[in-house]
Amino acid sequence: MRITIVGTGYVGLVTGSCFAEMGNRVTCIDVDENKLAQLKKGVSPIHEPGLTSLIKSNYKANRLIFSTDLAGAINDSEAAFIAVGTPPNEDGGADLSHVIAVAHHIGKSMNSPIVVVNKSTVPVGTTEKVRSVIQSELDLRSMSIEFDVISNPEFLREGSAIKDFMYPDRIVIGTENPKSRRVMNELYEPFSKKEDRIQFVGTRDAEMIKYTANAMLATKISFMNEVSVMCDKMGIDVENVRRGIGSDVRIGTSFIYPGCGYGGSCLPKDVKAMIKMAKDAGIDGAILEAIESRNNQQKKVIVEKIVQRFGENLTDKIFAVWGLAFKPETDDIREAPALIIIDELRRRNAHIQVFDPEARHAAQAILGNHQIHYVDEPYATIENADALIVVTEWREFKQPDFRHLANKLKSKLIFDGRNIYNPARVADYGLQYVGIGRNNL
């Protein structure tokens, strides 16, 4: 099948590359010519395991094309996916300006029937808006062309997006049109051969499923983080609580790991959008607001623990920080807890020495160089450092040389923002351990 992907960001590149891998001819459209030039050389603008090799192999095979010519692409395609950004507005709602702009371009350019697929994360009712915009442009041209607009939200996890796309646990498609169903069934058949993963629902249902899924994940994280704060105050090890409740199949073990808060491009933005949608619907979104509030507070918990140990004035203190990305296997630092932690420490005049295997340059563009030194390997951060703060659970941080850390850290303190270490093992090396909800203070 010939398809067009509008937008070469995270979702667009993964979607386009995976469809091309199955033999489809995919044209990825973007207005950024420099980005397209790099993609043609096999250089991905994002770090995602396995993505670069897919881009290179499918571009070489002429199944993956990068272009600025939207009109040419959609008039040679059976389906066009909108995969552009929907950043939050000041009121928390999703900014649909890029989505609507693409809809206008499609309406102005299309000359043959097409299925327009909204892959961007958008509020309920956006599919109807896109359909109305395209139809208005056709009316201005006095043209009658058959088209449909459907919803097909993505459920990709950064760091494992290729696997998630290739082996999905569900494929949600919002459409009431039989022709669109046939097109999407054909397109997604290779991804659901072993078990039918496709769920056909209404367009508004599909839009709500996406937001609800992310809000539920954020709920589990924030709930467990609030429990961790209680455990700190009550002399309880939250890890025992986590294991105890996680063995209940009704609760499960996923997303109940306490830490220093969630970040990234999805959960924070989508919770804000859900709060806005609730308000617009005249509903008291108290639970959603509490999720966001706890997460904002949780990003400062490690700083509070540091202040309790060292005081408010951190002048002349040096802190080693392991991790900048909001999670492992990505270079995404959007809403990352590390940004808040570092800023709070610098505000108290501390100096930071930081390492992240992928996110250094992205973080440096945001944090700058004031009172912060970026290094190329983790143990360089602990030179003359008073304490170590672990913020991102990269694999290479999980079994460090504790003996070396004990010899180097002045205060022999590890602040574990992800509870990845065993406190008893850390203590065996003469180090002090401070985790999240582990009754350390």
Which residue numbers are catalytic? 266
- The torsion defined by the Cα of 285, 217, 298 and 323, in degrees rounded to 10, comes to -150
In a 13 Å sphere around the CA of 205, the CA atoms on its Cβ side amount to: 9
Residue 39: φ, ψ to 5°: -65, -35
Show the tokens assigned to 214.
Answer: 């992310």
- What is the side-by-side strand order in the sheet with 432-434? 372-374, 351-355, 318-322, 387-390, 413-416, 432-434
Q: Which amino acid is at 159?
A: G
Closest CA to 123 of 326, 279, 286: 279
Contact assessment for residue 82 and residue 116, using Cβ atoms and an 8 Å cutoff: yes
| Residues 6 or more apart whose Cβ sits within 8 Å of residue 368 | none
Show the tokens assigned to 132.
Answer: 């109305």
Q: What is the CA radius of gyration of the chain?
A: 24
Residue 226: φ, ψ to 5°: -65, -40
In a 13 Å sphere around the CA of 225, the CA atoms on its Cβ side amount to: 26
d(CA 210, CA 86): 14
d(CA 256, CA 213): 15
Length of the chain counted residue by residue: 441
d(CA 169, CA 375): 39
Q: Is 194 helix (H, G, I), strand (E, B) or coil?
A: coil
Show the tokens assigned to 96.
Answer: 């649909």
Contact assessment for residue 119 and residue 81, using Cβ atoms and an 8 Å cutoff: yes
d(CA 37, CA 32): 9
Question: Strands, E, within 241-378: which ranges?
Answer: 318-322, 351-355, 372-374
Q: Which amino acid is at 70?
A: L
